[in-house]
Structure 1
Amino acid sequence: SQLLRTGQLRWGSNLFHIGILFLFFGHSVGMLTPHFVYEHFMTAGAKQVLAMVSGGLFGVLGFIGISLLLHRRLSDPRIRANSRTSDIVLLWLLWAQFALGLATIPMSAQHLDGSEMLKLAEWAQRIVTFRAGAADLLLDTSPVFKAHMFLGMSIFLIFPFTRLVHVWSGFGT
């Protein structure tokens, strides 16, 4: 679609990609690093505040970017005519995921001791290492965290069947 109209694409694409890349690597490092690795130089509460501030900043950048890309795809008749339904659905899912992620920040601010973040990180670590009991950690977690996690895992599930696979094209060149 970049050949059809470039104006909004540059801003939207750059903001989206800066936001999503930082958030992906931030979530990966933040959630998968065991607490004992950083507890000697950073408290769980300090790590949570760092995650809230940096995640909030890059979440807003990504949200603005995905909003521009969604508006561009829906408002330009030529781009819309060349879009598959899956392209539009994917943009809406990513938009909702950014919105849910930003909605977790006020919830995180209600417990700045880092206890909720530690539970969520332990859940992620148990999932990727195939350890039992991961679901039990989420029993009393806020619904906004659960929705953000569910939608995130759903996006990973549909990833191979969408144009998101363009991520891998950079490695192939």
Structure 2
Amino acid sequence: MMNQLLWVIFPYTMLTAFVVGHIYRYRSGQIGWTSRSSQLLEKKALKWGSTLFHFGVLAALCGHVGMLVPKEVMEAIGINEHMYHMAASWGGSTAGVITLIGTIILLLRRLCVKRIRRNSSMGDLFVIVLIAGIVFTGLWNSLVINSFGAGHDYRETVGPWLRGLITLQPRAELMGGVPLFFKLHILMAFAALGLWPFTRLVHVWSFPLTYLKRSRILYRKWNKAGGTEQERQNTPAA
């Protein structure tokens, strides 16, 4: 029963929250669809932390895609077990270290810079701590367990389980013998997906494409004399 709860019900619940939450957030609160950038309050730590975090996350996500590909397919295209293990262990560890450093910088920035701390919500802090936990456990799996420890072939357990979720044929029994830190990594990752639509993480999907086709820019200016807000339109130069 516990296996079904953790490895079938919980993942599908979080994925449902991810999809439905984004639809609801988009339809009801587009004005809050933003990262609420704190760049004006502090720039130096944000520059380093954000750069390391985003590049590290992108590299790590690309590496995780390999779990969706069965061993047989990898071997058919010339990537044997040793090649995959070396790339996953050392490439994944490098990406994990970069991401963890960036995450720690961003977390310390939120906790230690007074102006940032005052403008941070509990949700902001919870999300970044959750992300730090995901990165740390992933790095532990890659380095401590697979590179210098006894090792665990997640391509025989986590990989098939994940593919089963996607094809709507979940096999919770595959996760029974998976090491604890692998389980924590996966559960926290799905929790982050479920919380995603309700946090500032939604800014990942935002790109100001509409600004590229605007012929006029609408802005507001405070009229100090009359105490009223005025709207003006400015036509950009061609």
Q: Is the 8 A contact 1:48 1:117 kept in 2?
A: no
The alignment's TM-score, normalised by the length of structure 2, stands at 0.67
The residue aligned with 2:130 is 93
Query: Within 2, Cα distance between the matches of 1:81 and 1:44?
Result: 50
Deviation at 1:115, TM superposition (A): 3.5
Uncovered stretches (5+) of structure 1, i.e. residues with no partner: none
Uncovered stretches (5+) of structure 2, i.e. residues with no partner: 1-37, 211-238
**Which shifted more, 147-156 or 29-38?**
29-38
Displacement over 6 Å in runs of 4+: none
Question: Structure 1 residues 5 and 132, CA, compared in 2 at 3 Å: closer, same or farther?
Answer: closer
* Residues 1:37 and 2:73 are matched in the alignment: yes
Query: Within 2, Cα distance between the matches of 1:68 and 1:127?
Result: 34
**Number of residues of Structure 1 aligned to a counterpart in Structure 2:** 170
SS in 1 for 2:206: helix
* Residues 1:146 and 2:213 are matched in the alignment: no
For 1:2-41, what per-residue CA distance to the aligned partner results, in whole angstroms no more than 9, with x for missing partners?
11010101100000000111112221x2111222221131
Indicate the structure with greater strand content: 2
The residue aligned with 1:124 is 162
Question: Structure 1 residues 37 and 13, CA, compared in 2 at 3 Å: closer, same or farther?
Answer: same
The residue aligned with 1:159 is 196
Q: Is the 8 A contact 1:32 1:125 kept in 2?
A: yes
Indicate the structure with greater helix content: 1
The alignment's TM-score, normalised by the length of structure 1, stands at 0.91
Give the counterpart letter for 2:68 in structure 1.
Answer: L
Q: Is the 8 A contact 2:71 2:155 kept in 1?
A: no
Query: Within 2, Cα distance between the matches of 1:145 and 1:94?
Result: 15
Give the counterpart letter for 1:136 in structure 2.
Answer: E
Task: Report percent identity of matched pairs.
Answer: 35
